[in-house]
Structure formats: C-alpha cells, structure tokens
Amino acid sequence: MRRRGFLILSAGAVTVGPPPAGGRESAVPVIGFLNAQRASDRPFLVDAFRRGLREAGYAEGTGVAIEYRWADGQADRLPALAAELVRLGVGLIAATGGNDAGLAAKAATAEIPIVFTNGDDPVRIGLVESLNRPGGNVTGVSWFVGELTAKRFEFLKELVPDLATVALLVNPRNAEFGSQSADAQKAARASGVELLTLEAGSEAEIDAAFSALERQPVDAFVVGADPFFSARAERIVAHAARLGLPAVYSDSNSVQIGGLMNYGNSIPDAYHRAGLYAGRILGGARPRDLPVDVLIRFELVINLRTAAALGLVVPLTLQVAADELIE
C-alpha cells in the first residue's frame, strides 16, 4: 500500500488536497511507516499505531500523512525502503516489526527521528546508547522476549503431564534467532526437557517443520516470537490441531483463533505506544529525550476449548493466573 502524488515541501511536510480559500497551502507532517511484513499481515497493529497518533493529536489524513513501505517478508529489502523514505524527506520513520526495520532505518539516516518497535534489547543490538538516554535520533518501544521464554516452558510443564520433549519453531532470518534459540536451550535445561529446534523462514518451511514432527513426535512445542509467525498464525494453529500438539505462542491472537496458550506482551499495545511517541516527536520532543518505553505488563491467555480438545485439564493455579480464559 503506497501513497503517491504528494508534493514534498520540506522535511516531513506535504500538501494534501486542493489549497484552501485564499490560495494558501496547508501542510501536514509525513511519517514513513517501515515494516518487514506484508500490508495484509495483522492490520490491527497498524490500527493501534494510528490510534496512538490520534490520541497525540495527529489523525491520519488530516493531521498527518503516512507513507507505507512494506518489505513483504523480505528483510533484505528494508535498507532500500528506508533509503527511499529518507529521499522523500519524511519527518519521522516508524520502524516497526522487529530489529531489522529499526537497524535499516538507523543506517539510512542520523537526522530524521526514528521510533522503533522490537522484542530484543535495543542497547545490545545497537539501536540506542541506553534505555534511559537513547542518544541520537532513535527511540521506541521494546519488550524483552528472552525473559519470557523460561516462563513459557514452566507453564507448559504445568499444563502437559509428563512433558519430556518440546519442539521450538524459530525463524533463522530473524535477527533475534540466535538469542531466542539460546534462551530456549537454557529454559529447556532448567525445566528438565529435551529440546528439538525447527527452523522456518517461509510458509513452505513451516509446513516442512510440522511434517518433521510427524516423523519425530514431541510432547509440545513453543513458537518463537516473530512477526512472520504471528502473521501466519492460522497456518501454525491448524498444523498444531492436526497433530494434536499443545503449543504456547508469543501473541494472544494465535490463542483467540484456536491456539492453546500464550504468554507475552501485548503487541498492539506496543504499536499504540509507538504512535504516541511519534506524535510527541512531531509535536517537538526530541528522540534523545524520550526513554525507550519498555513493556512490563505480560498477559497469559488460555483457550479452554482447545485444552479440552487435546484432553488436557488446565490446573486451577493456571486458571487463576490467566488474564483471559477462552471458553
């Protein structure tokens, strides 16, 4: 989804529609929205970003224009798309959907403000100097996926009797691949279970990964936190149902459509907060003065219907701990 026909007046200003009475042109700021996925993937996240902008006083179409650039699942396209947004002279880049978009935007400009969303440590990967003092032109919203992995294994252990073998589905094309795999290995050892790692970075590889589980059965599986997997939740949930496998996901949408359980941050909340930050920066705030917004609220959602279909009894302790039970 690309918007054309804008006349760039200055960094971040465009004319929209005909000049008002009196012949004067009205200008609105322009945001470049950069994302590694497809425009059709999880549109509710874009809606959450727009909602944050509106709450900050910038409604798309009247208070702000947005130039969308989607990499269609091909992370290697992000640097060129980021450079294109810089050439357009946008006033801010919202680099969403993970590390790759943020790093591509940062490599493309040291002047245009950048607001990222990601699930890794932004200091460790070089996006910001520190959480409290980001420095430079970059700030954003982050959630630390690795810190949640051990808890996901604990919940699986509590839910699945005699849990012995767990499969981990991870995307080797994700910049967080190495850390996610290492965190899962550590959590598996702590839980006393054997870990089988399956890699998938395309829909065909997702199908092949589940075919491998037919030949090498496991007791349950964990889906790595990845926007590529979240956008293909229906496919993954269907495979889990076909094989009768309990699974824990990183996003609640997977559980709403039939997955068993998720434990993680609210990603729509992250996009909403990124929209709020973008609005503050358009209003004059400097990225270097806005600490990275770290999500600290976690949600546990359990689908009781799916548990019953798998022959699992959800312990009362888990039911009490859950933020939402789907019955």
Same domain, 57 and 175: no
Same domain, 16 and 102: yes
User: Which uninterrupted H or E stretch holds 157?
Assistant: helix 146-159
DSSP 8-state code for residue 60: B
User: Is position 55 within any domain?
Assistant: yes
β-strands 293-294, 261-264: how paired? Answer: unpaired
> What pLDDT is stored for residue 228 in this prediction?
83
* DSSP character string of 167-221: EEEE-TTSTTHHHHHHHHHHHHHHHT-EEEEEE-SSHHHHHHHHHHHHHS--SEE
Q: Where are the beta strands (DSSP E) in the chain?
A: 8-10, 13-15, 27-35, 65-70, 92-96, 114-118, 138-142, 165-170, 194-199, 220-223, 247-249, 261-264, 293-294, 299-303, 324-326
Which two three-digit tokens encode residue 39?
């425009």
Same domain, 318 and 216: yes
CATH of the domain at 171: 3.40.50.2300
User: Which residue type does 219 have?
Assistant: D
Same domain, 195 and 117: no
* Residue 24: band (very low, low, confident or very high) from pLDDT cuts 50, 70, 90: very low
Same domain, 110 and 81: yes
User: Is position 54 within any domain?
Assistant: yes
Is the per-residue pLDDT at 9 higher than 50? no
Is the per-residue pLDDT at 26 higher than 60? no
User: Is position 3 within any domain?
Assistant: no
Same domain, 244 and 289: no
Same domain, 154 and 137: no
User: Is position 1 within any domain?
Assistant: no
Q: Beta-carbon neighbour count of residue 104 at 10 Å?
A: 25
User: Which residue type does 65 have?
Assistant: A
Same domain, 194 and 319: yes
d(CA 281, CA 267): 21
Residues 6+ apart with CB under 8 A from 248: 152, 155, 156, 220, 222, 223, 260, 261, 262, 263
d(CA 311, CA 306): 9
Contact (Cβ atoms closer than 8 angstroms) between residue 119 and residue 97:
no
Indicate the burial class of 242 (C-beta count within 10 angstroms; 0-12, 13-18, 19 or more): exposed
For the chain, what is the mean pLDDT? Answer: 88
Residues 6+ apart with CB under 8 A from 155: 248, 261, 263, 300, 318
Parent domain of 167: 146-264+298-326
Instruction: Give mean pLDDT, residues 45-69.
Output: 96
Which two three-digit tokens encode residue 170?
């991870």
Q: What is the pLDDT of residues 105-145, one digit of tens each?
A: 999 999 999 999 988 889 988 999 999 999 999 999 998 76
Which residue carries 């839910």 as its tokens?
159
Which residue carries 């939740």 as its tokens?
233
Which two three-digit tokens encode residue 278?
């973008």
| Number of domains observed in the structure of the chain | 2
Same domain, 209 and 285: no
User: Is position 244 within any domain?
Assistant: yes
Q: Rounded to a whole number, what is the largest CA-CA distance in the chain? A: 77
Same domain, 79 and 161: no
pTM: 0.78
Instruction: Give mean pLDDT, residues 85-103.
Output: 94
Same domain, 272 and 212: no
Is the per-residue pLDDT at 3 higher than 70? no
Same domain, 130 and 168: no
